[in-house]
Amino acid sequence: MPLTTPSVFPPESHVFQKFPSRRSVVHSTKGIVSCTQPLAAKCGIQVLEAGGNCADAAVAVAAGLNMTEPCSTGIGGDMFCLFYDAKTKKVSAMNGSGRSGSKCTLETIRGSLGLKEGEFGKIPMSSVHAVSVPGAPAGWVDTVLRFGSGKVSMEQILAPAIELGEKGFPVSEGVAFFWDKSEPQIRQASPNGSEMLKKDPSAKDGVRAPKAGEIMKNPTLAKTFRALAAEGKKGFYTGRIASELVKVVQDLGGHLELDDLAHHLETGTEPVNPISLKFRGQNVSKLLKDAVLGGKDGEDVGLELWEHPPNGQGIVALMALGIIQELEAAGKIPTWNPGDFNSAPYLHAIIESLRIAFADASWFVTDPNVEKVPTDSLVSPPYLAERAELFDATRASEIPHHGSPAFLSSDTVYFAVSDSEGNGISFINSNYGGFGTCIIPAGCGFTLQNRAANFSLDADHPNALAPRKRPYHTIIPAAVTNLHDGSLHSVYGVMGGFMQPQGHVQVLLGQVVGQLNPQQALDAPRVCIGAGMSRGGASDRVVFVEEGMPEETVEGLRKLGHEVEVVRDTERAQFGRGQIIRWSVDPVEKIGSWSAGSDPRGDGGAYPL
């Protein structure tokens, strides 16, 4: 008999990386899927091979990731996407986030949590009151309807993930670590925890978390996918799945009702206008000028960063990048060269710009359909220049207060897909924290998200909980276009709660300032700060620095007054996991080519068609 699966892996440990390693940039002229799970990438590749475009493939990847990495994402969560149409050179956005229930008033939830009048409190991440209506199922269907090729059906798109669930798949190392860590909560959160655990007669109650390399099956999730494929959105938001979702929530004391799911079925996914910032700083025009095919003198060479608008936090990345641009224009920071990348002064400017941006976002970002959000003003050059005045190059600042612009009128999967037509999609799907609440509707095979934990329970806060409102959302896809002609530069993103806009800024500047290729930009060590509401209190003063950052940089940040904490091994997950797919054209052959990188902090990679 052959050896068993455990023989492949060393004893379990928290060591992230035994030896230094490297990855190369992956290239293809036909398309690429870049994500955290190889088997999920294969789902997308199969759809591309069947004639689907990048949007069709993205939904296949999302479903595959739900199967293979449920500790981060799932159909019980939310999604956002940015789609670049090569024919029109237009970036489109879609908001697939769910809403609170109609009975989820501030008074009701505060009472259910036992909070007294005037007492500060938050919705716990594990609470049933953190469950909001899942937006992902409608988002998947609407992505295909709005951006898809029309050449493949939902049955074809979801078939590869369904096969993984029914026949089983080997569990990757990173996922196995987090699955094991979450097993106690999965068991305790609802009576249906066994659906998300591996059957093993020798284990307690006959189930346990799967180990790396072991085969995991999830036939109940496959059944859920079959319902969505056959019936569309109605297969999720009405009927058996909807009834089981509402039942488990209400049995645990929650307030969602069937009418809340029916409401999302009708109003659900929202096409929105993406927001952007034109970036001409840090010698980007000099860097790119010679690379413009058929370039002419006087062209506006630079980059335009596109983000999803509020209730997403993409505006943080735009504001931070805009503040950095204003600081350079005012002479408060230099025009950096590659040798400055990840130096103390370089990171100091990024950290301080992010602090200022988060101070505004933590107050202003909420559901724009319920509260007025001054999006245009927050990213306007005059306001960014005003906020840049808070920067001091010689020392770390105190936590800033939000500004006053004029009102002019936790765990996630991010992935990117491109196709042979030159289209690209930046797609993000999330449970929020790990498996979300770990609450499982009976016979459905997925956990419910804990996104409503992001609501404020302060009645005076713009992001205060209210019925059928969407909370501040951490998940954000990004895209970059070239200023001179609107062509695509890249689709990219960095997943991981409040790390996401921080990763967007650092990875983009890594390519501009550090002159790094897509893979190197993702390999580079990163920093992470508190978001003013992610951990609260004094800890928001801490700058978390990833293992591998030069010691000179760490000490330099401390001398500037930053409270630095170096994060090592598996705890490095807090720095997120990113993907980048860039587009370029061979100057001789005039043939377009995709070039991709995938974060070494994840289990996956970039896979060419």
Instruction: Look at residue 531 in the predicted model and tell me its pLDDT.
Output: 56
pLDDT tens-digit profile of 539-583?
478 999 999 999 999 999 999 999 999 999 888 888 989 999 999
* Residues 365-394: tens digit of each pLDDT: 888 888 888 999 999 999 999 999 999 999
What distance lies between CA 133 and its chain's CA centroid? 18
Nearest-10 crossing angle of helices 154-167, 38-49: 150
- Across the beta sheet with 563-567, what order do the strands follow? 527-529, 542-546, 563-567
Strand partners, 567: 546
**Per-residue model confidence (pLDDT) at position 600:** 92
Model confidence over 86-144: pLDDT tens digits? 999 999 999 999 999 999 999 999 999 999 988 999 999 999 999 999 999 999 999 99
Per the structure block, which two tokens stand in for 214?
């072991």
**Residues linked to residue 584 through DSSP beta bridges, in sequence order:** 593
DSSP 235-258: HHHSHHHHHHHHHHHHHTT----H
CA atoms within 13 A on the CB side of 512: 29
Residue 149 confidence (pLDDT) = 98
Number of H helices, E strands in the chain: 18, 21
Inter-residue contact 490 to 303 (CB < 8 Å): no
Lowest model confidence (mean pLDDT) among 225-234, 268-277, 365-374: 365-374
- In this prediction, what percent of the chain has a pLDDT beyond 70? 96
| 3-class DSSP state of 326 | helix
Query: Chain-centre distance of CA 152, in angstroms?
Result: 26
The sign of the dihedral angle between the CA atoms of 342, 343, 345, 348 is: positive
Per-residue pLDDT tens digits for 310-326 = 998 999 999 999 999 99
Nearest to 281 by CA among 306, 308, 296, 301: 301
pTM, two decimal places: 0.94
| Residue 402 pLDDT | 63
Q: Place 85 in a pLDDT band, splitting at 50, 70 and 90.
A: very high
Q: Which range, of 183-192, 260-269, 391-400, 404-413, averages the lowest pLDDT? A: 404-413
pLDDT (mean) for 60-72: 97
- Report for 153-162, 396-405, 561-570: range of highest mean pLDDT: 153-162
